[in-house]
Amino acid sequence: MTDPMAAPTVEHAVQAAGFDRPVGDPGQSRSVVISTSGMVATSHPLAAQVGLDILKAGGNAADAAIATSAMMGLVEPMSCGIGGDLFVIYWDAKTEKLYGLNASGRSPYAINRQVFQEKGLSEIPLHGVLPWSVPGCVDGWEELRSKFGTMKFDKLLQPSIAYAEAGFPVTQIIAGYWRSGEERFREWPDSAKTFLNDGKAPREGEVFRNPYLAHSYRAIAKNGRDAFYKGEIARQIIDFSENNGGYFSMQDFADHTSQWVEPVSTNYRGYDVWELPPNGQGIAALEMLNVIEGFDVRTMGHNSADLIHLFVEAKKLAFADRAKFYADPDFNKLPIAGLISKEYGNRQRARIDMQKAATDVDAGDPVLSRGDTIYLTVVDKDRNCCSFIQSNYHGFGSQVVPGDVGFVIQNRGQLFNLDPEHLNTLEPHKRPFHTIIPAFVTKDDKPYFCFGVMGGDMQPQGHVQILMNLIDFGMNVQAAGDASRVNHVGSQTPTGTPMWKSGGEVGIESGVTPEVKAELQRRGHILREAPGSFGGYQGILIDWKNGTLQGATEARKDGVAVGY
């Protein structure tokens, strides 16, 4: 087994920004961040700093994660916020156990498939009030805080309230995301007044204020999660819904609950990789790892034609299962144990032709005798670890801000299927299929690597590529995220609808050589240049031998890893 702490095996002589970088992968954007007491990594520097300040003030990983999440909802509002959902994998140092939190919301009681039939719609719209599901974020905060946290909301939300009132500078990549909402916001006056200045999104370097969100955060700081689900925030959302053709009721919000779940795992070359079970897509990463483990990946070579081909074919198999089997387990008996078993992985592996790309992949039989998200990770001085992911689904979710609340409502309900025979079919008070997934790795029953990769369908693909880079190719945590990635797109939507029967397309970053691209095309892969569609990674690795934390964040986002 390769030592994951070893230096990368590529040549290290590089020219970067006019100077020689003495160590590291030629593609490595920055050095690993190393600290001893605590660390936070996420996709905005100010949010990471807010979390670190909470750690320094005596808070733990749960406290810091909530404070960081609240700040991310302010500074990257297109990707996340209290109008969306979240999921968490948490390592509790006291009990030495992993816990999973599913804080995803459900469809309205009043909505059903007939609603869309009567409107002449064959699928759920992407924007507007029809794809709304109850936001789970605030209840998720409360569940995490009450179970593991040490601080109250007034302390945790105060930094974000202050920045919302005084303003924060908009960073480069986030400014680009923000511009995507300009035109559609003009259809929704509350959205425009909340997120546009004189009809325009804030540009890079501009200071932006959101006093409406500050007011909502103050209500939560004073009255807790009930301010959102039973108080003034819920009432504003319900009033807007009723006046604009939506289906929300106060009962939808009053009845909302999060759920603590058992994380599930597979062992990959001696490392236990943990994900959450459906309604999310985390087990797709476990399915892929079980298939890939049967090959000598290191001998193939990093980003070789053989490795990329294997990776893409394993992904096709896992995502065919995803389209058929991943749904709300409260409504279905799902074959999760079978899907992530080694025996099933062996059978799936036999379906791969290493010389030819599959063009029509059906789901296996596991019965055995366009997405915007933020990820953050925190490890504290006691080695409590929080792997935390939060999303509105598409950029700015439904695009709709309901009144003066200061945030958009997610469009996660768009991922329901309208086929009555599908496991993920739309039904009242049901959780839709979800793309956002936190990840965690343990070694010898101790926490080892707390990480995630944001970005829709890229997320399980990113998890697998990060782990191969770290475990198979011995990259450090920074190089593992910076290395060129691939992103297979297509064949089927998350709702199970076929997109095309060509086997999809393989997005390739620039670090993959022309020779490898030519060989992939020879094997039948359709390649495309796809800048910006390769996710966003954050990770913290625990070095128990030296008593340090090693943090990483990648250049594809605006964020940082910070420690003390």
Q: Where in the chain are the domains?
A: 28-297+370-480+533-564
Could you tell me the pTM of the whole model? 0.92
Rounded Cα distance, 374 and 174, in Å: 11
Q: Which residues contact 307 (CB under 8 A, 6 or more apart)?
A: 297, 300, 301, 468
CA 222 from centre of chain? 29
Amino acid at residue number 304: S
Kindly report, residue by residue over 165-214, the tens digit of the pLDDT. 999 999 999 999 999 888 889 899 999 999 999 899 999 999 999 999 99
Q: pLDDT digits over 318-370, tens only?
A: 999 998 999 999 999 999 999 999 999 999 999 999 999 998 787 765 543 24
Distance of alpha carbon 449 from alpha carbon 425, whole angstroms: 35
Please give the pLDDT value at position 252.
98
Q: Angle, to 10 degrees, between the axis of helix 153-166 and the axis of helix 137-148?
A: 140
Alpha-carbon Rg for the chain in angstroms = 22
Mean pLDDT value across residues 451-476: 95
Single-letter amino acid, residue 560? V
Count of all residues that appear for the chain in the document: 564
User: What proportions of the chain, in percent to the nearest 5, are helix, strand and coil?
Assistant: 35, 20, 45
Q: Between 9 and 307, where is the model more confident?
A: 307
Residue 287 vs residues 257, 369, 464: alpha-carbon distances, Å: 29, 18, 10
Q: Is 359 a catalytic residue?
A: no
CB 454 within 8 Å of CB 174: no
pLDDT tens-digit readout, 533-562: 788 899 999 999 999 999 999 888 888 999
Residue 535 CB coordination number (10 Å): 27
Cα–Cα distance for residue pair 434/87, rounded to 1 Å: 10
Average pLDDT, the chain: 91
Least confident of 150-154, 498-502, 541-545: 498-502
Give the Cα-Cα-Cα angle 450, 551, 170 (nearest 5 degrees). Answer: 105
Asked if residue 272 lies in contact with residue 443, where contact means CB atoms within 8 angstroms, the answer is yes
Helix H, strand E, coil C: the string for 431-483 is CCCCCCCCEEEEECCEEEEEEEEECCCHHHHHHHHHHHHHHHCCCCHHHHHHC
Indicate the pLDDT class of residue 308, thresholds 50, 70 and 90: very high
Joined together, the tokens standing for residue 64 give 């810091």
Model confidence pLDDT, tens digit, residues 44-59: 999 999 999 999 999 9
458-467 and 283-292 are packed helices; what angle lies between their axes, rounded to 10 degrees? 40
Specify whether the CB–CB gap between 339 and 283 falls below 8 A: yes
Residue (of 102, 65, 4) closest to 448 by Cα position = 4
CATH 3.60.20.40 for domain 28-297+370-480+533-564? yes
Given 42, 171, 194, 373, the catalytic residue: 373
CA angle centred on 48, ends 47 and 49, rounded to 5°: 90
DSSP 55: H
